[in-house]
A and B are shown apart, each in its own frame.
Chain A
Amino acid sequence: MTNEFLPPGLALQKADERIMTLNVGPQHPGSGHMRIIVQIDGDYIVACDPDPGYVHRGEEKMAEYRNYITNIPHLERPVIHDSCNVLYPYVLGVEDLLGIEVPERAKYVRVICSELNRCIYTMYWLAIYGIFLGHSTMFMWPAGDRELLIDLMEKISGARVTHAHFVPGGVRNDLPPNFEEVCLRQVNYFEKRIREYAAVFYDNPILISRTQDTGVLSREDAIRLGVTGSVLRASGVDYDLRKKEPYDVYEELDVHSNVMKEGDSYARSKIPWLDMLESCNIIKQALEKMPKSGSVRVKLKPNPKGKGLNSVYKRVESGRGSLGCHIVSDGKVEPYRLKLSVGSFRNLIALPYLLKGEKLGNMPSVYWSLNYWPVEADR
């Protein structure tokens, strides 16, 4: 490979007496499984070049070799904490290709699983955000409280993470007996618990002084960079796919999307927390409106296949923003091409933009506020 396609950390470059090139990662706790190449002048970042790919697993290539059903367990691997939401667009896309109508009760079960998973993921993200900023209590509390919801998902699917619960045609199993009561009780307690985080974290003057007015992304730039999810909504753009392009039964539920205008790290860290409160609200509504009995799965023929050359693009709102799945089918049992367009990868473009001119010490708070999950971005 010639020099011209290499990142600056590897390519030969002229030495400069003022600018220092610093590799953060890939084994650094402040970067996750990725490397951020920053060039600093004193304490200020003058350029930043993210270098993802350390956990690239070729999900898209693997999907071309497996049929539509055996693709399910490996496609949820990019974000194991949010596995229902990662599978959601794929399952919707396959249903569209095969022309399957899903039972009403299955749609509600999916919404409940999806919202539970969003909370489980966000709690994990919040725990790491806490420890990034040196706030150990905020690491311990979310890591403990997410067990409440993991227990619920374990009751539903039998697995703590990587549930593989969504299948084309519905969900794998019906809810266990008495689930509604247990779920309502746990979610109510969970909601009460996360409201307490405000006092210890979000209203904490130290957090506010470290995150407010750092890494400000204006509304215009957020639109131009095409960021998504909490990053977009923290910059004042009201765009939530659960409202804008409702899938399954989100149309029948009252969904409120949280928007803040500031666009700084503080707003970006607060939006996911507000989303969790909203998720609790959605789960309670769904439990109330869900049909009390009925089928949750349409039986498929073995080795289902699409008709002729066809393509479909479905997207859902995951914990990290819009998650799209582009499936091209050529009438065989395997997809001809499968592309996941993930929120983390789309938000990565904002990192070099936000870090320019920022202090090096602010890098962790800006980086993790982008709701970036390295494994998902690499796929």
Chain B
Amino acid sequence: MSTNTEQVTIEEKPAEEKPVAKPVAKPVAKPVAKPVELPAFEKNISDKIVEKFGDKIVVSFVKVNRVGINVDKENVHDVAKFIRDELNYDHVESVSGVDYPQDKEIEVVYHIGSYSDPSLASQLIVLATRAEREENPIPGKDATKLPTLRDIFYSVEFHEREVFEMFGVYFTGHPDNRRLLLPEDWADLPPLRKDFAIKGR
């Protein structure tokens, strides 16, 4: 199995590399939309969401074909439901986790698109939410938890399983919170976290 060699490298890793890895990451400023000629169609979409949720959300960017929304985990379920029911978005293309150790947070970014509405075919809503991050994770048992969007967008099923194993973010309410890609006997940190370092790098 190809994973055998990787596994060996990992086990010695965290102890020596941990202090080095932390200062690498840099502070994050949540950008706010600038008033310089935003594309009209995308602005219209973000306005609809702002109108509904007000200061519960932050519009992080409005670019051509992309609208970025930041929302905290208490409201992410409601915002996603609104995006599906009122704005005609119907599937999730990608779910990526991004680890920010300096903020003690892990961000999960959903890219939501639409097949059924031809006018939205090139549009994506980039919905980002953040979960608490623990230094010594026990995946599935610690405070790193988010509500699942699987009951709203069925298509996130495997994507959320991947984020769970790679970042240790447990999705509450997901019917099938199991490992997907990693070996069954993996007993190390979730590998895509920043403090899991590759040996020799």
The chain A residues found within 8 Å of chain B, CB to CB, are 1, 4-7, 10, 51-58, 60-62, 65, 222-226, 228, 232, 237, 239, 244-245, 309, 311, 313, 315, 322, 324, 326, 328, 330-331, 336-337, 339, 341, 345-346, 348-349, 378
Do B2 and A330 have beta carbons less than 8 Å apart?
Answer: no
A60-B192 contact in complex given A224-B155, A313-B126, A330-B26, C-beta closer than 8 Å: yes
* Distance to closest chain B CB from A285 (angstroms): 22
- What mask results when residues 148 to 184 of chain B are scored 1 for a CB within 8 Å of chain A, else 0? 0000011101110010000000000000011111111
Do A53 and B183 have beta carbons less than 8 Å apart?
Answer: yes
* Distance to closest chain B CB from A220 (angstroms): 9
User: What are 12 inter-chain pairs, A to B, with CB distance below 8 A?
Assistant: A1-B186, A5-B179, A6-B184, A7-B179, A52-B180, A52-B181, A58-B6, A224-B90, A226-B155, A322-B93, A339-B94, A349-B157
Which residues of the other chain, A, contact B158 by a CB distance below 8 angstroms?
Answer: 345, 348-349
Q: Is B122's beta carbon under 8 Å from chain A? A: yes
Other A-B contacts than A56-B182, A244-B122, A311-B126, 5 sampled, CB-CB below 8 A, are A226-B153, A226-B154, A339-B94, A341-B94, A349-B157
Do A5 and B178 have beta carbons less than 8 Å apart?
Answer: yes
**Number of contacts between A and B (CB, 8 Å)?**
118
Please name the residue on chain A nearest to B178 by beta carbon.
A5
Do A331 and B26 have beta carbons less than 8 Å apart?
Answer: yes
* Distance to closest chain A CB from B45 (angstroms): 16
* Distance to closest chain A CB from B174 (angstroms): 12
The CA of A228 and the CA of B115, in the complex, are separated in Å by: 10
* Distance to closest chain A CB from B150 (angstroms): 11
Do B178 and A223 have beta carbons less than 8 Å apart?
Answer: no
Q: Is B111's beta carbon under 8 Å from chain A? A: yes
The CA of A245 and the CA of B126, in the complex, are separated in Å by: 16
Q: Is B198's beta carbon under 8 Å from chain A? A: yes
Query: Top 7 nearest A-B pairs by Cβ distance?
Result: A226-B155, A341-B94, A226-B91, A53-B181, A339-B96, A245-B122, A244-B121
* Distance to closest chain A CB from B106 (angstroms): 11
The CA of A315 and the CA of B121, in the complex, are separated in Å by: 12
A326-B154 contact in complex given A239-B115, A309-B28, C-beta closer than 8 Å: no
The CA of A51 and the CA of B98, in the complex, are separated in Å by: 24
Which residues of the other chain, B, contact A65 by a CB distance below 8 angstroms?
Answer: 198, 201
Which residues of the other chain, B, contact A330 by a CB distance below 8 angstroms?
Answer: 25-26
Q: Is B54's beta carbon under 8 Å from chain A? A: no
